[in-house]
Amino acid sequence: MSSSNSSAVSSPFQLFDRAEWKILNGHFSYNLTQDDVEHLHALNEPLTITEIEEIYFPLAHLINIFIERTKDAHAVVNGFLNKNTQRLPFVIGIAGSVAVGKSTTARVLQKVLSMLPGKPKVDLVTTDGFLYPNKVLNARHILNRKGFPESYDTKLLLNFLAAMKSGVEAVEVPVYSHLEYDIVADHKQHVVKPDILIVEGINVLQVNSSRRNNVFVSDYFDYAIYVDADEKDIMDWYVNRFESLRATSFQNPESYFHRYAGMDEQESLAMATNIWNEINRPNLLENILPTRYRADLILEKGSHHFVKQIKVRKI
C-alpha cells in the first residue's frame, strides 16, 4: 500500500533510504543487549540490534531535537509571562495497520528514548485500552467492528490526553487483555508525570468530522509517526501471526479465541484470510491508510518486516 515518492518538489516529505538514514545518528550512543531485543519484539516480527541502531537511534536523535526545542520554548514563554509553570509531557503518536508492527515500534522507541541524556521517564499507552468493553460492543451490535472508529471510547481517550496536556500529574487508563479480548475490569494503568508519552494505536491519526467540538486525538501530539508497508505484506504478516497464535496462545482454555485451537493449518489460513478481508482490510483502506500523510514521519517497511525507507515531513 506504500506509494513511491513521486516528486521531490511536490511532496511535503523528504525521503531517506537506510544508507542515508543510519549515518544521521550523530553523537548519541546506547548500550543494548540481545536480551533487550528479545523483550522488545513481538510474535513473528523480527528485530535485531542492527535494526535498532540504524533506524531507531537516528529517530530518537531527531525526536530529541524537537523535545529540546519544546523545552527552550517553554522556558522563553515562562520568562515572558513571568510564570513558573511545569513543563508538560512531550506526546508522540504512533499509527499504522493491524499487524504492521507499530507496537514493536512503540516499545523500541520507548526503550531508546529512555536512554537519552537526562534519562527521561517514557510511558507507553495503547489505544486498545480505550476500546469499549465487549458488553457495550455487543449491545450496539458492533463487536465484529472492533478496531473501527465507532468501537473506541474516543471521549475517554481525549479526556486522558487533555489531562496529560493540562499538567495533571497522575491519570488512570483502562487496560485491554488480548487473551480475554476485552477490557480488564478493575485493572488500570497508572500514568504518572511522564517526560515523554507515547500513544500507540490504529486510530490515533483519524479525524472524525462528526464530532461537534472538532477536537481530535492528534491535536495533542507533539510528533506523529506512521508505520507503513504494502498491503500484501501486512496481510501475510497477519495471517502468519494468526497461525502462530493458534498454535500457542489460542491453546489456552482461557483465551477468547480458544475455539480456533483445534483448527488445522489450512483451516487456520482460511479463517485468518477471511478475518483480514472482512474486517482488517476494510478498516485499513477506509480509516487507517488515509491518515498516513497526517504524520510527521513515515517508517516504510519491506516484506522482511525491516524498515527500508523513511519519509520526514519538511519544515
Q: What is the dihedral of CA 114, 116, 120, 122, to 10 degrees?
A: -30
Q: What is the dihedral of CA 106, 44, 149, 63, to 10 degrees?
A: 20
Q: What per-residue confidence (pLDDT) applies to 34?
A: 79
Is 97 annotated to bind ligand? Answer: yes
| Statement: residue 91 has pLDDT above 80 | yes
Is 103 annotated to bind ligand? Answer: yes
| Statement: residue 6 has pLDDT above 80 | no
Overall CATH class of domain 13-313: alpha beta
Is 209 annotated to bind ligand? Answer: no
- Going by pLDDT thresholds of 50, 70 and 90, the confidence category of residue 1 is low
Is 96 annotated to bind ligand? Answer: yes
| Statement: residue 239 has pLDDT above 90 | yes
| Statement: residue 42 has pLDDT above 90 | no
Is 125 annotated to bind ligand? Answer: no
Q: How large is the angle between the packed helices 231-247 and 265-275, nearest 10 degrees?
A: 130
